[in-house]
Every structure is written in structure tokens, then in C-alpha cells.
Amino acid sequence: MAHRLHCLARRLGHFYLLPMVATMAFFWGSAAAADLFDNVRAEQAVGTVDFLSDESYEHPTADVKVADPIEPFNRAMFAVNDKFYIWLLEPVATGYSKILPGGLRTCIGNFFYNLGEPVRSANSLLQGRFRDAGRTLGRFVINSICGVLGLADAAGKDFKIAPVYASFGQTLSVWGIGDGFYLVVPLLGPSTLRDFSGTLVDGVATTTYAPWSDDTITTITVQGIRTVNRASLHIGEYEEIKSLTFDAYVAFRNGYYQIRSKQYDHSNSTK
């Protein structure tokens, strides 16, 4: 049982934002709205995440606990996002998964991840991580050419260039701007005031060079496919984790902070 919980917690680190990504993100440039989720591919930056703990999370290198002054609002939004996922996103994703095979859905996910690499490279530069900026840009060029527009991760498999985590929220952190407070965004999910602001900037930046950026209808359609495709790769995991936690809200809040902390710490160690 303990092994099963451990495995589930690790798997959750790869999809926990899924229930929260939705329609509002389309208008905020959702090509980067879930980059925190996407960048969890960098396994060494994540490690083990204890979503099953009901204790308030405390950063291992700072004596600061989770700031959640608007918890009643956040819990209400968590409930909204929960219902959205269970009643709409998961049923659509389930039907989608029956139409497209898993290999093709993985390729689609790779394509969208690759699309965000230039923004990650720019954020790495803004953080003074010049090596990571070069690695990320290199991944983009290699995967766009050798990986057929990013459908395959040739950079990772053939050239052994691991994914790099870098977001504008992290850039703001490096510049000394604090979290503000924990925030559950309606139909988007767990964040902080700072990280949500960074998500918007990353989203706008990504859509400026996306091939469909000048067509609103196409943009909405493409981002809808991205969201459903991502959800289709993790069907059933959300409910399974929820069933093993006493307070799902606290578990997801802790998971968000833990994953982000591990990503930030790993990124800082590679400077």
C-alpha cells in the first residue's frame, strides 16, 4: 500500500494542474498557462512529492509557511474546478482517448511542449541562467527539425539534452518579488499572485509567435485540443489521488508548493 501511494504521488506530479486548465486560459494565452505542469517532465527537478500529507507545507530552505489568507474563496474555486474536470473535461478526454492512440497523443503533447521552449529560453536569460538558455533553445531547434516540428523529443532521446524549467513567475522570484499569497484561479487552477501574473506574461509571449496567433477561433480550438490531449494521458489519476486524501484542497495546495519549490531549487543549482 505504501508503495502504491508513493507511485501515485509521483504520478500526480505530472498532471496535478490538469483539472484546472480550461476555457479562461484560452484568452490568457494558454499556450503557457500550464507550463508549470509541462516542465515537470524534468524529473530531477521534481523528485518525490507528498500530496498525501494533510500538514501545511513549509519550504525546506525558508521558515515560511503557505500564505493562504483567502482560503474560503480558494476552496470555492477548487470545488468549481473539481466539478469542471469531473463533469466536462474528463468525459471529453475519455472519448478523445478512444479515438486517438496513446502514441499519437504523446506526440501532440510533445509538439505543444516544444512550442514553449523559446519562452523558457528567454526566462532563463532573464534569470542569468545562460547555459540553460542555450540548452532550451538548442532543444527547440533540434526538436523542430529532427523531431518533425517537435512531435518527437529527439533532443532528449538522441542528444541527451534534458528539459529545463523556466517561467516568468520564477523570473519574478529571482528578481526578489514575493509570492503574495496562494491563489486558486477559476478554471485555471493552483497558483500564487506572482506566479499567475507570470503565467499571463508567458502565455502572451508564446502566442506572439504561434502560427495560429492571428486567428482567435483557431487559437481557442488549438488550446482546447491541448487541454483535452493532456487530460487524456492521465485519466482516472485525479480521482484516485482524491480518494486517498483526507483534505484534497490541502493536498493539492501542498503539492503545488512542493513541486514548484523543487523546480526552483533545481534551476538555481544549475546556474
pLDDT digit string (tens) for 3-22? 444 444 444 444 444 333 33
Rounded distance, CA 218 to CA 227, Å?
14
Contact 18, 85 (CB under 8 A): yes
Mean pLDDT of 230-257: 87
pLDDT digit string (tens) for 67-113? 899 999 999 999 999 999 999 999 999 999 999 999 999 999 999 99
pLDDT band at 268 (very low <50, low <70, confident <90, very high): low
SS3 at position 124: helix
Q: Which of 109-123, 147-161, 197-211 has the lowest mean pLDDT?
A: 197-211
Rounded distance, CA 8 to CA 15, Å?
11
pTM attached to this predicted model: 0.77
Element (H, E) at 189: strand 189-192
Rounded distance, CA 60 to CA 201, Å?
28
Q: Which residues contact 133 (CB under 8 A, 6 or more apart)?
A: 121, 122, 124, 125
Q: Which residue has the cell 490541502?
A: 250
pLDDT digit string (tens) for 17-73? 433 333 333 333 333 334 434 444 433 333 444 444 444 444 443 434 678 999 999
Which DSSP string do the residues of 234-261 spell out, in sequence order? Answer: TTTHHHHHHHT-S-HHHHHHHHHHHHHH
Please determine, for residue 239, whether its predicted confidence score (pLDDT) is greater than 60. yes
Q: What is the mean pLDDT of the chain?
A: 79
So what's the pLDDT on residue 266?
61
